[in-house]
Structure 1
Amino acid sequence: MIVNRLAILQKLKELYTLRGLGECYVEHQVLQSKISCSNDTDIKNKILHCKLCARSKMGEAVFGNMQQNAKVIFATLLPVMNSRGQFLPIRSVKILQDIIKNVFRFAPSEYSILSLLKCADTPIKSEEVDCCKPYFFEQINLSMQGVILCFGGNEALEFFELNKNCFGKIINFRGRRLLVTYSLGELLKNPSLKKEAMRHFILLKEVL
């Protein structure tokens, strides 16, 4: 009994040490089975008719905008478009529009816009993330190319199950390049972060 207790305490000490060094842990949960779709229309129908969690009752689901020849996939925590593919008229979304136009200078056919969660601008719960993950990853699988630039801060790192050392760096994720930067909300509330975010954008542009 005492030996087992000591072993548990030693393991806890190791885990706390790793967490202090930047490792990120999530509780084990049973995730929804992987979604398999043959095309954009198939995954779009599944997203728009999803009723897996209470979040779907609080707002319409949003598929986003997928371009097969996109150079960059801009990913946000929550939808920045409505169900008709139009940008939402809010200040944080205007920041993204300005970045696309003034920093990357992309034409509409050169980028995709997806969200990690598919509906409702409300606080995020872990069980809702688990429901939306398969949809987002299947959208990525169906995209022919494109570097992922995710505006999500720490919540995005948790979504991708990455530690904090990955923030602001280009990493290989499921065969694609991924860079996680600050969320649009963070950039809106704290404009001083824009300087560091710009360094992230320049880093990304160098690999395009």
Structure 2
Amino acid sequence: MTKLVKYKILNQLNYLKSIGFKYHENLELFSPDIKNYKLPNNIEELKNICEHCHLCELSKTRKNVLFAYGNRYSNIMLITDEPTNSEDELGLFYSGKTGDLLKNMIENVLKVQKEDLYLTSLVKCKSNSGINSSNVETCNDYLLKQIELVNPKLIVVLGDKTYSYLLNNSNDFSQVRGKELSFNGIKLIATYSATFLLRNPSFKKDAYYDMLKIKNIMENLI
């Protein structure tokens, strides 16, 4: 039995378990076979796997799987923490007030169209009460594979939660945002998420200056 067949069987068994089927023994969802499963080197195949994923509890409550939006050949990858309620409802990034604000930040400050960048999230499904480390760990291989396939020259991290989970770092976000950092050899810069800015508009000025730094880095990418 190949790893791919094992993965599909375990995925299906987990789905059956999520809708009420019982097993005589507990199913170990994160066995080495799953974690060592070789994800495809094709972005569309990876998207298909994500859209049929039932490996964590978020799959029980999501309405849509949001894999990514934009140009997969872009030099710039934006990463947020999770889809918003509007995005989950419509199945499309940049939906709702949060999406409108992020779009304005990109188009009015970076001076590019949102379609020219590549946007994804730590987890591909909306949570009801906020994501946790287990959700992020489940989706982490998908995200790392996305980063590998898109191969951006700059990663823009949106929000403190995204920063702390992606870099496994609990540093004070206010001290690291706006600074040029590195992730797996890729330039990285963090700023406030649009969700945070809607709730805390007084920080929009700081976010504006962060976006100007991002614009400067973008213009100097080779």
TM bracket (short chain): 0.7 to 0.9
The runs of 5 or more residues in structure 1 that have no matched partner are 1-28
| Aligned residue in 2 for 1:4 | none
| 2:201 aligned to which of 152, 174, 191 | 191
- Check the 8 A contact 2:78/2:157 in 1, yes or no: yes
Q: CA deviation at 1:90?
A: 1.6
Q: Which has the higher contact order (CA 8 A, sep 6+)?
A: 1
C-alpha distance in 1 between matches for 2:137 and 2:106: 29
| 1:57 aligned to which of 39, 42, 60 | 60
Q: Percent identity?
A: 28
Deviation string 1:3-27 (CA, Å, 9 cap, x unpaired) is xxxxxxxxxxxxxxxxxxxxxxxxx
| Aligned residue in 2 for 1:101 | 107
Q: 1:126 to 1:108 in 2, by over 3 A?
A: closer
Q: 1:110 to 1:71 in 2, by over 3 A?
A: farther
- Check the 8 A contact 2:122/2:140 in 1, yes or no: yes
1:93-132 maps to which residues of 2 (within 5 A)? 93-122=99-128, 123-132=130-139
CA RMSD after TM alignment? 2.6
Q: Which amino acid aligns with 2:42?
A: N
| Aligned residue in 1 for 2:51 | 48
Q: Which amino acid aligns with 1:33?
A: K
Deviation string 1:125-160 (CA, Å, 9 cap, x unpaired) is 221111011111110110032411111214532332
| 2:35 aligned to which of 33, 50, 57 | 33
| Aligned residue in 1 for 2:78 | 74
* Residues matched between the structures, number: 180
